[in-house]
Amino acid sequence: MAGYAVEIDDVTVRFRSKKRDVTALTDVTMRVEPGEFVSIVGPSGCGKSTLLKLSSGLLPASTGDVRLFGEPVNGPRKDIGYVFQKAALLEWRSARKNILLQAEMRKMPAKEAAARADELIEMTGLSGFEDALPHELSGGMQQRVALCRALLHRPPVLLMDEPFGALDALTREQMNVELRRIWQETGTTVLLVTHSIAEAVYLSDQVVMISARPGTVAGVVDVNLPVERDYGPTMAEPEFAKATRHIRDHLGAAAAAE
Amino acid sequence: MVTHTQSARAGQRERAGEASGVAERSRPGLGQRLGGFLERSWRPFALLAALFVAWWGVTAAELVEPYLVPSPGDTFDAIAQRPEYFWEHTWTTTYETVLGFVIAIAVGVVAAVAMVQSSTLEKTLYPLLLFAQVIPKIAIAPLFVVWLGFGLGPKILVAVLMAFFPVVISMVTGLKSVDPEMLQLSSTMGAKSGQTFWKIRFPASLPHLFSGLKVAATMAVTGAVVGEFVGANAGLGFVILQANGNLDTPVLFAGLLIMSLLGVLLFVIVEWLEQLLLPWHASRRDEGASTTI
């Protein structure tokens, strides 16, 4: 029962607005093993982000079950880390204090939190920028701060909602390489929503494809690439080409146009 | 793994390169800061001086009768002849203004927080607030005198009434302007609503609050003087009314001048506090790429 890190079982999500009812997700079933890196790709508005909100308990399922480590999710969960597309940093706090917000809210022991923050700052290459205010940091640096904040409490599950969507292409590639390394170092389960098929394949063990609204699982692709993935060489691997092509064909023109 | 760390190191080198492009500048000395202040503020001072010259010119050329518009000299003379008189009445008005302003802030902030917490309360209070705002203060001020007498009470009450609306409106806007993702993040951190309020909502609302406070500061002065007009035996409003009755325009002008200075001073203090408390806010930042240095 407690075998999966994230379990989404036959879930439907409907939003009710004044004018109409919208079914965002229907009959979605997916499972994520502990320690796995799973990406979710699909056209805009297919409910990818909704899947993350479900897993974190920020949004209830209309029907069906969501479980984290076998435990039903009802209400916001504390045992996750969340990264949004926007870094969502507090403007008045330095990078370090933004990271430590996580510890303050959770009332973690100060020493332990400080040590962990130092470790993450080092790991993400933020050293030297600890005291900078968010507006003094580049987009990539801001996102690194958000990532550190999400990892501070060593969450068993990390949820990332298009974390690199607002970055330029080069920074994005660099962040991909770093995220892959950080995932290997922390061993946490990652659920990543992305628009980029290349990003999904490079980073993941498994890519879940969601169809256009109402979103449902259109297929799952296992990525058979080695654990050690150099960026350039990985891109040139036949398996990489095969996986990206498969996903692109599956999602059709809608995703290709993105 | 080896190559991954290598590329990460390369990334770090790049970033170190970025960092080395940043040269720490030493803090500007007193002389430099004074120079900077003069450079920034000579324009408004020049305009003010030009207005004074125009005022002086008009009166010196006797374009208007002196009993209608006194010369700057006569106006300053009026103050110089009775400094205690002006000091005493300025102090009264200052006291009423500041007290009214502070009460308005307290009431306004508390009302805003309550209204943001409960939408029922918001719907109930909003029409009342609006009503309190649109009713002409000069029209209800006599009622306050009937209720509270000729003392400080009615003046402070009018000042509060005038100042607190901008405080409430700006604070409500500020508290609602928080990034919803920040709030979601906060709930995944297991934050209590008190923690979310003090660590996220409240600091995020301060820039909005301060723009409201700047409006409120000037309103408080007006409120206090309006209160004095209706019935008082002290304060700048009383000075002006009395001077008006005696057709003593130099004293009248002196009263007006001090009153304006009072408003400007209060405004400047609020702005200075804002600069001190919110150095992080976008509107307060130095122009990063200033070329005039």
Lookup: tokens for A247: 């996903």
Please answer yes or no on whether A101 and B199 come within 8 Å at the CB atom: yes
CATH dotted code for A6-79+157-256: 3.40.50.300
Pairing of strands A63-68, A6-16: antiparallel
- Please give the share of chain B, as a percent, with pLDDT higher than 70: 83
Angle between helices B152-176 and B83-117 (to 10 degrees): 40
Instruction: Give the contacts of B130 (CB within 8 A, at least 6 positions apart).
Output: none
Q: What is the fold, at CATH topology level, of the domain defined by B113-280? A: MetI-like fold (1.10.3720)
User: How much is the average pLDDT of A74-102?
Assistant: 88
Q: Give which of A80, A89, A105 to mutate to test B binding, by max B Cβ within 10 Å.
A: A105
User: How much is the average pLDDT of A207-215?
Assistant: 84
Q: What residue has token string 């993040």?
A: B185
Instruction: Give the contacts of A163 (CB within 8 A, at least 6 positions apart).
Output: A83, A84, A85, A143, A146, A147, A175, A179, A192
Instruction: Give the contacts of B226 (CB within 8 A, at least 6 positions apart).
Output: B137, B138, B141, B158, B162, B237
Is A156 buried (19+), middle (13-18) or exposed (0-12) by CB count in 10 A? middle
Partners of residue A25 on adjacent β-strands? A13, A215
Strand ranges across the sheet with A206-210: A80-83, A157-161, A189-194, A37-41, A206-210, A217-222
Lookup: tokens for B59: 């009166």
Contacts A–B by Cβ distance under 8 A: 88
pLDDT at residue B11, as a whole number: 45
Instruction: Give the contacts of A10 (CB within 8 A, at least 6 positions apart).
Output: A27, A28, A29, A63, A64, A65
CA angle B104–B107–B108, rounded 5-degree value: 75
pLDDT greater than 80 at residue A258: no
pLDDT at residue B21, as a whole number: 52
User: How much is the average pLDDT of A213-225?
Assistant: 81
Q: State the Cα–Cα distance between residues B161 and B131, nearest whole angstrom.
A: 11
The number of residues making up chain B comes to 293
How confident is the model over A40-57, as pLDDT tens digits?
Answer: 988 877 788 888 888 888
Q: Following CA atoms B256, B258, B260, B263 in sequence, which dihedral angle do they give, to the nearest 10 degrees?
A: -140
Give domain limits for chain A.
6-79+157-256, 88-154
Please answer yes or no on whether A91 and B4 come within 8 Å at the CB atom: no
Cβ contact A147:A121 at 8 Å = no
Least Cα separation, residue B292 to chain A (angstroms)? 21
pLDDT at residue B17, as a whole number: 41
pLDDT greater than 90 at residue B107: yes
Q: What residue has token string 């324009």?
A: B43
How confident is the model over A111-127, as pLDDT tens digits?
Answer: 988 998 998 898 888 88
Strand ranges across the sheet with A21-32: A21-32, A6-16, A63-68, A71-72
Name the residue among A135, A25, A130, A146 with its Cα closest to residue A85.
Answer: A146
How confident is the model over A137-169, as pLDDT tens digits?
Answer: 888 889 889 989 998 988 889 999 988 888 888
pLDDT at residue B12, as a whole number: 45
Whole-number mean pLDDT of chain B?
81
How confident is the model over B10-20, as pLDDT tens digits?
Answer: 444 444 444 44
Chain A partners of B187 at a C-beta cutoff of 8 Å? 58, 76
* Among B151-160, B208-217, B244-253, the range of highest mean pLDDT: B208-217
Report the residue from B1, B11, B190 with minimal CB separation from A174. Answer: B11
Within a 10 A sphere around the Cβ of A245, how many other Cβ atoms? 12
Cβ contact B222:B162 at 8 Å = yes
pLDDT greater than 90 at residue B213: yes
Instruction: Give the contacts of B82 (CB within 8 A, at least 6 positions apart).
Output: none
Q: State the Cα–Cα distance between residues A199 and A177, nearest whole angstrom.
A: 10
Lookup: tokens for A240: 């990489």
Report the residue from B7, B8, B190 with minimal CB separation from A105. Answer: B190
B183 → chain A, closest CA residue: A88
Q: State the Cα–Cα distance between residues B282 and B290, nearest whole angstrom.
A: 15
How confident is the model over B28-59, as pLDDT tens digits?
Answer: 666 776 776 677 677 878 888 898 889 888 88
Within a 10 A sphere around the Cβ of B88, how many other Cβ atoms? 13
Q: At A157, give phi and psi (nearest 5°).
A: -130, 130
Lookup: tokens for B241: 């009314």
A170 → chain B, closest CA residue: B11
Within a 10 A sphere around the Cβ of B53, how many other Cβ atoms? 12
How confident is the model over A163-192, as pLDDT tens digits?
Answer: 888 888 888 888 888 888 888 888 899 999
Chain B partners of A91 at a C-beta cutoff of 8 Å? 204, 280-282
Lookup: tokens for B94: 């200052």
Pairing of strands A157-161, A189-194: parallel
Query: If DSSP codes are grouped into helix, strand and coil, which group holds residue A215?
Result: strand
How confident is the model over A243-256, as pLDDT tens digits?
Answer: 888 888 888 754 44
pLDDT category, A76, cuts 50, 70, 90? Answer: confident
Within a 10 A sphere around the Cβ of A166, how many other Cβ atoms? 16
pLDDT at residue B29, as a whole number: 67
pLDDT category, B26, cuts 50, 70, 90? Answer: low
Q: What residue has token string 């770093």?
A: A178
Q: What is the 3-state secondary structure (H, E, C) of chain B?
A: CHHHHHHHHHHHHHHHHHHHCCCCCCCCCHHHHHHHHHHHHHHHHHHHHHHHHHHHHHHHCCCCCCCCCCCHHHHHHHHHHCHHHHHHHHHHHHHHHHHHHHHHHHHHHHHHHHHHHCHHHHHHHHHHHHHHHHCCHHHHHHHHHHHHCCCHHHHHHHHHHHHHHHHHHHHHHHHHCCCHHHHHHHHHCCCCHHHHHHHHHHHHHHHHHHHHHHHHHHHHHHHHHHHHHHCCCCCHHHHHHHHHHCCCHHHHHHHHHHHHHHHHHHHHHHHHHHHHHCCCCHHHCCCCCCCCC
pLDDT at residue B6, as a whole number: 45
- Please give the share of chain A, as a percent, with pLDDT higher than 90: 11
Partners of residue A31 on adjacent β-strands? A7
The number of residues making up chain A comes to 258
Is B13 part of the contact surface with chain A (CB cutoff 8 Å)? no
pLDDT category, B250, cuts 50, 70, 90? Answer: confident
Taken in order B211, B213, B219, B225, the sign of the CA dihedral is negative
Pairing of strands A206-210, A217-222: antiparallel
Report the residue from B19, B182, B282 with minimal CB separation from A88. Answer: B182
Report the residue from B4, B15, B280 with minimal CB separation from A125. Answer: B15
Please answer yes or no on whether A102 and B189 come within 8 Å at the CB atom: yes
pLDDT greater than 90 at residue B103: yes
